[in-house]
Structures are given as C-alpha cells and as structure tokens.
Amino acid sequence: MKEKKNVFFCENDLSKERLNNLLLYFNNESSNLRNEIITKIEQIKRKIDELNNVELPKSKFEFFDNFQNDFQAQLDSFILIKDKIFLFYNNLINELEIKNNESIFISKRIADYDNALQLDIDKWTEITNKLINNHNQLFTDFDTKQIEARNLLKKHQVSLFLTIEEYIKKKKESEFGIRCISKFDSYIKKVKIEIAKLEGELKSIVKGKDELNSFIQKFLNRSDIFIEVIEDDKFILKRNGQIADNLSEGEKTAISFSYFLVSLESLFQDKKIFDYIICIDDPISSLDGNHIAQIYSLINSFFFRQNINPAVPEQYVNCFKQLFISTHNFEFFSFIKDSNRINKKNTKEYYFIKRISNTESNIQELPKSLRDYKSEYIYLFDLIFKFFINGCQETDEKLILMPNAVRRFLEIYTLMKLPDSTDQVDERIRILMPEHMELKTLHHFSHFTTFEKVMKHDEIILNLSQAIGELMTLLGKDELHFESLKRAVTR
C-alpha cells in the first residue's frame, strides 16, 4: 500500500513540516496524559496508605466497660468499609494502568463511585467520633461521676439498712423513751437538789477527816493513829484516844503523804487530776520494810483506776498527766518496776540522780544491771549462763572476769542453800555435793587462797569451761531453782 501524501478531506498535499508538527503535538499530549495518570495512581496509593494508617484505639479495652461493645462493633464495621474502599481504589488503579499501557488515546468508561459507600463512611465517622467523645467526657467527669455513684450507693445501703432494722418503728420507740427520760431527768434533778441541801448540812471538814484517816490506816496498816475534828473545825492527832506525841519519822511520813493523797482525791473528784504532773519523792522514807507493800499497793490503786472509761470499764486508766516516783529503796523500786499497771509499753523510763559535787547533780539513765536484774545473784547467773550457752569461748572479752563471777555466785548460792553454815565455800560445796571430787575444777575456782593468783593469771583459767560445766551440774541437782533462774534471765 502506498503512503498517502495528501489530506483526506481536502486532498491537499501534507507537507513534511506539517506532519512533524502534528506528531510532536500528539507526542506531547500523550506524555502529559501519561504523567497525569501516574500522578493519579500515586495519589490513590497515598489514600490507601492513609486509610491503612488511620489512628484508632487498638482495642475495645482502651474504653470504659459500657463503651467496649459499641467500639468493637465500630472496629468490625470499619474493616468491612475499608475493604470496599480498597476494592474501589484498586479497580481504579487497574483501569488507569490499562489506559496508560494499552489505550492512551481510546476513551474508557469506568464504574461511578458508590455514593452509598460514602454515606456508610460518613455515618461510621460520626458514630465513632461520638463514641470517643462520650468516652473522653466520662473520663474527664470520672471523679464527679464516681462521687455521684458512691452517694447513690450510700443512700441505697442506708435505705436498705433502715428497712431491715425497722428504723421508723425504732425511731418512734426512741422518741417515746426520750420523753420518758426527760420526765425522769426532771425528777432526778429535784432529788439532786434535795441531796445537795442535805450534803450542805455536813461539814466538808468531816468528810476530809474520814478520807485522811482512811489513808493513814492504809499506810500504817493499823488504826491506833487517827484524826479528830475539834472546835473551830481544826484537826487534832490522837493515838489510842490520847493526843499523839512523839510521832516517829515514819508516822510523820504516812500522815503527810495521806494529806497529799486527800488533796489529789479532790482533784480526781473534779476530774482535774488528768491535767497534773505529779512527783512523789521517796514515799517509803523513814518507813520500815513492813510498810513497803502497803505503800506500793496504795500508789497502784490510787493512780491507776478502773471504771473510768465507759467503753472499756475493766481498763486501767492513768489518773495523771505524768507521774514521777523517786526512791532510795531497791525493794520498793522492784515493786514499782514489776507492776503490771505501771509497766506499760514505751511509757516507763528509769533514771538515777548522781551527785557530782556538793552543790551539783545530774540525771542519768539507770544502769542496765540495776534496771534489768533484781539482785547481784541473778546478774551473776546471767553473766555465767550466757558465757556457758555461747560455748565458753576463750575469745570472749569477759573470760578474765568469769572466775571471780563464778566464785561470787558460789558464795551466794551455797550460803542461800546452807544459811547456818560457817564453813568456807568449798566446804559448803562438799556438803551440797558429797561426790566433791567430781567438781575438782570448780573447787579450784571456788576459793582464792594463794598469793600467786594475785600476781599472775592462773593457767587453769583455760579449763574455765569445765568449771562452769561443773557449776551447771551442781545447779542441775536443784532443778526447780535452776529452771527459775533461767526464766529470770530470759524473759
């Protein structure tokens, strides 16, 4: 077929220049169209990426319980909608690639965008945003909502309680009881006025006398000394009905301290004693040992009383703000230290006053040996027993002191067991343990009879563990006493 050189509709010649211009034009248009197709494809792919990267909560558990099911439904719906959109986008990309590769100049018809799908997207977006906003609002108002919910729960519980407990019925009964009590209170008030009038007729001096006599008798544990009221409401001391002359220092102490307690009793009656700091300076001064227990018992019962706290009537209540007791007497100190009423956890402290010059003293903590041990005997046993149960170690810093402790303990123990004996300690051991030779190491440490022991260490000190073992054997013969000693140092 021959190449045609002229134009169909006009039969004119087609110049080469004209042909080149036409070819250039269509080539440019084709290139522009292809570039535009590629641009559109890239735009669609970006839309796909944006849709894949939509930021949504990953799980329904990021929402409060009442929103979780609704959000899960939105997530499921979003997957279906996204699949439809991806299908449309992928079909569009496919058509554009066919257009670009095969039919650049051929017109193609593609399916229109589904408006129903757009409506689904808009509706899904609206519901999801509303759901998220409601969740966020609930989070913002959480504290307020929580308080409201608690108040409703409280009201419900109160209502339930009132119903179960028959509150209305009991309220009526209570109101009736209050009216009755009011009537009785009026009657009681009248009776109290009458009682006050009768009590006013009694002289307060007489009541003071009775209380003072009661305390004096408790102190002295006898009733021969007492107080009588004479003319002009004055006191007079009598002994066996006669004016008391030549009172002993102990009797003076008892009378003075009784007067002190009567004064405190008036504070107790007025409920003021709980605000007072009370100091008792050696209340057993000038009294013999027979009165120590009475004074301790009186202090114990006066300052620590029951039936004061209505909620716990059996509780012992401190009738003071702070209480100080000083004494020179170790027996009285032991009574106070062992008192169950005074000995409350973290409330009792021990001190002693040390004179450092003729005009100056200071207060120090009581040494542990005096605070924790009732006697030298128990202290020595504790020292020896701890050394024993720790294995009698030669490295123990108390090693050099142990022979003296053993010797002193044996002196006290054997004298206590044989109070009528005038023999030396080793002879008393022989009496207590006829098989004395079995305790020969202990016998060596039981006396101090050679000058060499003063001048140098005794080499037998290295056998101290054997001596202490023999001591434990000796004590083991007196099982009841031995067990009591161990309890005294371990509690």
Residue 172 included in any domain: no
pLDDT at 468 (0 to 100): 83
Predicted local distance difference test score (pLDDT) of residue 438: 47
Q: What is the pLDDT of residue 308?
A: 86
pTM exceeds cut of 0.75: no
Based on the fold, state whether residues 353 and 458 are members of the same structural domain.
no
Which H, E and C letters describe the chain, residue by residue? CCCCCECCCCCCECCHHHHHHHHHHHHHHHHHHHHHHHHHHHHHHHHHHHHHCCCCCCCHHHCCHHHHHHHHHHHHHHHHHHHHHHHHHHHHHHHHHHHHHCCCCCCCCCCCCCHHHHHHHHHHHHHHHHHHHHHHHHHHCHHHHHHHHHHHHHHHHHHHHHHHCCHHHHHHHHHHHHHHHHHHHHHHHHHHHHHHHHHHHCCHHHHHHHHHHHHHHHHHCCCCEEEEEEHHHEEEEEECCEECCCCCHHHHHHHHHHHHHHHHHHHHHCCCHHHCEEEEECCCCCCCHHHHHHHHHHHHHHHEECCCCCCCCCCCEECCCEEEEECCCHHHHHHHHCCCCCCCCCCCCCEEEEECCCCCEEEEECCHHHHHCCCHHHHHHHHHHHHHHCCCCCCCCCHHHHHHHHHHHHHHHHHHHCCCCCCCHHHHHHHHCCCHHHHHHHHHHCCCCCCHHHHCCCHHHHHHHHHHHHHHHHHHCCHHHHHHHHHHHHC
pLDDT digits (tens, 9 = 90+) for 97-124: 777 777 676 676 776 666 777 777 778 7
pLDDT above 70: percentage of residues in the chain: 78
Residue where a domain stops, chosen among 106, 121, 140 = 140
Is the pLDDT higher at 292 or at 485?
485
Residues 264, 295 within the same domain: yes
The answer as to whether 37 is a domain residue is yes
Task: Choose one of 106, 124, 140: the last residue of a domain.
Answer: 140
Look at residue 344 and tell me whether its pLDDT is greater than 60. Answer: no
Confidence bin at 436 (pLDDT 50/70/90): very low
Q: Do 334 and 393 belong to one domain?
A: no
Q: Identify which has the larger pLDDT, 289 or 42.
A: 42
Instruction: Tell whether 234 and 348 lie within a shared domain.
Output: yes
Query: Does residue 174 lie within any of the structural domains?
Result: no
Mean pLDDT estimate for the chain: 76
Is residue 309 located within the same domain as residue 392? no
Summarize pLDDT for 179-206 with one digit per residue, the tens: 899 888 989 988 888 876 665 554 556 6
User: 87 lies in a domain?
Assistant: yes
| 277 and 299 co-located in one domain | yes
Residues 356 and 383 occupy one common structural domain: no
pLDDT of residue 202: 47
CATH number of the domain that 364 lies in? 3.40.50.300
pLDDT in tens, 54-69: 777 777 777 777 777 7
Indicate whether 9 pLDDT > 70. no
Give domain status of residue 145, yes or no.
Answer: no
pLDDT at position 277: 92
One domain, residues 239 and 223: yes
Q: Is 88 exposed, middle or buried (0-12, 13-18, 19+ CB in 10 A)?
A: middle
User: Do 251 and 363 belong to one domain?
Assistant: yes
More confident residue, 213 or 368: 213
Is the pLDDT assigned to residue 400 strictly greater than 70?
A: yes
One-letter amino acid identity for 436? H
Cα 285 from Cα 303, distance rounded (Å): 20
Residue type, 172: K
Residue 180 resides in a domain? no
Is pLDDT of 348 > 70? no
CB atoms within 10 A of CB 284: 24
Least confident among 83-87, 283-287, 358-362: 283-287
Rounded mean pLDDT of 199-223? 71
**Same domain, residue pair 289 and 341:** yes
Q: What is the mean pLDDT of residues 399-415?
A: 82
Percent over 90 (pLDDT), the chain: 1
Q: Is residue 3 part of a domain?
A: no
Maximum mean pLDDT: which of 123-132, 307-316, 368-377, 387-396: 307-316
Domain count across the chain: 3
312-321, 427-436, 454-463: which has the highest mean pLDDT?
Answer: 312-321
Range name among 61-70, 167-176, 379-388, 435-444 with the lowest pLDDT average: 435-444
- Residue 464 inside a domain? The answer is yes
Q: Does position 278 have pLDDT exceeding 80, yes or no?
A: yes
State which residues form the domain around 56: 21-140
pLDDT for 188 equals 92
Cβ neighbours of 332 (radius 10 Å): 23
- What pLDDT is recorded for position 111? 67
Note whether 277 and 360 are same-domain residues: yes
Q: Please give the pLDDT value at position 457.
A: 47
> Looking at the structure, do residues 78 and 130 belong to the same domain, yes or no?
yes
Q: Which of 371, 396, 428 is the last residue of a domain?
A: 371
